[in-house]
């Protein structure tokens, strides 16, 4: 098949959406599909055999890592030459809206997918009053598609309740060859602890340092566990504020890690804490689990699809200020308990490969191409 992808975020940015896209492109091309990808400028012109067309973009003021790329005639011309069987728009915003319009006006079957819970982000930026309006805009965009894919069962249900039609679950995936327990090392533990003395309670957060990730929730955990050490891997606009929040604690701001260094960080920590309650899936949790790192995540959004409380990790209640600390204490209660969770976490991750997730996506594409626009009419 010939597949045109429109995405508001791609390389060199690194996050869960980009990880899913790069793995999807790799497996689509490996399966014999032709892929053309439109994204904000800055990405390589060729990725794993797929042609990539960068579109000039401006950073979003409140979220500078997200760039708004305005569709232009060159995009329409490239799409016309490519003649795709399916257009897939990822998180439609500006470039994605152009992709929707081009697909609809050319009667190309359209798939959209929902990865970022933007309406819930608004409250963390003091704009919660705009949430109903944003839902209406999202509904108008997504209901142009023949099929709307979500990455967790909770999001399938929520989008359906919000009036977004033709929803389906796009199964999760993780690279269990990259993220593996064998990468645990003393050298990485020392790096994560920085200038702080060694401890058998090394806590880890990996992700964007931004307001919606609610990282400051970890501070009471450190107050309750004075022997614990915390490593924050990643960067973002909230870093300066977080440096003030964690001042005086045994916290190391590590910065970005990637590849085997990132996998080694997961494998070398004693617990992965992910306080965010706005996740549509939480791919980073699955990467931690694949690396054999026991996890604590919010009992909200897509995370309960991954974490079964007390079986392969621990869940906390984001509405209870003491719950994250209690869940972390429960996870660290004994080495034996931690080992059970670690093994169960790895076992869960091994169920979800990118090849299987992409094979499911290809079936969706074939069904949509066969159905044409009849569902969206």
2-173+353-371 in CATH: which number? 3.40.50.2000
User: Helix, strand or coil for residue 47?
Assistant: strand
Three-state SS for 369? helix
What's the confidence (pLDDT) of residue 67? 78
**pLDDT of 373 strictly over 80:** no
Residue 62, pLDDT > 70, answer no
Q: Return the sign of the alpha-carbon dihedral for residues 39, 41, 43, 49.
A: positive
Q: What is the pLDDT of residues 151-179, one digit of tens each?
A: 999 999 999 999 999 999 999 999 999 99
Rounded Cα distance between 374 and 331, Å, is: 50
Which residue ranges make up each domain of the chain?
Answer: 2-173+353-371, 181-349
- pLDDT-based confidence at 351, cuts 50/70/90? very high
The one-character DSSP state at 313 is: B
Fold of 181-349: Rossmann fold (3.40.50)
pLDDT at residue 120, as a whole number: 66
> pLDDT > 90: what percent of the chain?
84
Geometric angle at alpha carbon 63, from 238 and 5, rounded to 5°: 130
- Bridge partners for 231 per DSSP: 204, 252
The reply to whether 2-173+353-371 and 181-349 are identical in fold is: yes
Q: CA 191 → CA 178, 194, 253, distances in Å?
A: 20, 5, 10
């Amino acid at each position: 098949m010939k597949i045109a992808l429109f995405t508001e975020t791609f390389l060199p940015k690194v996050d869960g959406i980009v990880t899913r896209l790069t793995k999807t492109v790799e497996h689509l091309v490996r399966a014999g599909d032709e892929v053309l990808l439109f994204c904000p400028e800055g990405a390589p012109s060729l990725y794993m055999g797929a042609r990539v067309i960068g579109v000039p973009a401006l950073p979003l003021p409140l979220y500078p890592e997200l760039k708004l790329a305005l569709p232009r005639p060159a995009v329409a011309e490239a799409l016309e030459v490519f003649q795709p069987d399916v257009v897939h728009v990822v998180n439609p915003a500006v470039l994605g809206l152009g992709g929707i319009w081009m697909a609809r006006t050319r009667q190309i079957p359209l798939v959209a997918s929902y990865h970022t819970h933007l309406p819930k982000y608004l409250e963390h930026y003091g704009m919660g009053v705009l949430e109903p309006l944003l839902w209406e805009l999202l509904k108008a965009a997504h209901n142009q598609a023949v099929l709307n894919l979500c990455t967790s069962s909770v999001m399938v249900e929520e989008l359906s309740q919000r009036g977004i039609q033709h929803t389906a679950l796009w199964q999760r995936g993780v690279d269990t060859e990259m993220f593996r327990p064998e990468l645990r090392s003393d050298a990485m533990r020392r790096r994560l602890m920085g200038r702080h003395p060694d401890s058998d309670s090394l806590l880890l957060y990996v992700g964007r340092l931004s307001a919606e990730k609610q990282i400051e929730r970890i501070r009471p955990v450190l107050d309750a566990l004075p022997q614990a050490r915390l490593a924050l891997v990643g960067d973002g606009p909230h870093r300066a504020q977080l440096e003030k929040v964690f001042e005086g604690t045994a916290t190391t701001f590590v910065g970005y890690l990637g590849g085997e260094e990132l996998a080694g960080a997961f494998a070398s920590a004693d617990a992965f804490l992910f306080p965010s309650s706005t996740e549509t899936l939480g791919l980073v949790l699955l990467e931690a689990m694949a690396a054999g790192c026991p996890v604590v995540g919010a009992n909200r959004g897509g995370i309960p699809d991954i974490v079964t409380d007390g079986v392969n990790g621990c869940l906390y209640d984001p509405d209870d200020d003491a719950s994250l600390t209690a869940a972390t204490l429960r996870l660290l209660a004994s080495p034996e308990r931690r080992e059970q969770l670690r093994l169960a976490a790895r076992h869960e991750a091994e169920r979800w490969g990118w090849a299987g997730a992409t094979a499911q996506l290809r079936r969706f594409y074939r069904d949509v191409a066969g159905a044409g626009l009849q569902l969206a009419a």
